[in-house]
Amino acid sequence: MSVSTPDLADLLMRAGRRLRSAHAEELIGLPVNPHQARALRAIARRAPLRPSALAESLRVAPRSATEVVDALVAGGWVERARDPDDGRAMLLDLTAPGRELIGDIDRARARAAEKLLGGLSESERATLAAALGRVVAG
């Protein structure tokens, strides 16, 4: 079966939208929205990090990242501390409740992925993973 490059790109975008939608559904009942969950995961991967690095990682404006961080701090999942190397800068890190919430978020992500990919055989998953790995690597 031959698939044009534009059609393949459309399929990838549709799959991404379905995955994001499934993830949002799985987050229902958790105290964060998808944007906050994404920010928490970024902080968990690179903590401690500066808010500007978080904004860059999320590919959002610094003001947008600040709003998300404010909500995460208010929820008790993230804390701000002065950067010991630069007293003018702040660093973000997870709190103990934030680390627990990351576990819930990761389980929600796994359920969402299973909804989308659960019908694929192991062989199909391996083929898809290899192809997407090449695409992502550029």
Q: Are 128 and 120 in contact (CB under 8 A)?
A: yes
Q: How far apart are CA 113 and CA 120, in angstroms?
A: 11
**Total domain count for the chain?**
1
**Is the residue at 5 inside a domain?**
no
CATH of the domain at 118: 1.10.10.10
Q: Are 102 and 27 in contact (CB under 8 A)?
A: no
pLDDT, tens digit (0-9, with 9 covering 90-100), for 112-138: 999 999 999 999 999 999 999 999 998
Domain span at 124: 12-137
pLDDT, tens digit (0-9, with 9 covering 90-100), for 16-67: 999 999 999 999 999 999 999 999 999 999 999 999 999 999 999 999 999 9
pLDDT, tens digit (0-9, with 9 covering 90-100), for 61-106: 999 999 999 999 999 999 999 999 888 999 999 999 999 999 999 9
**Is the residue at 3 inside a domain?**
no
One-letter amino acid at 67 equals E
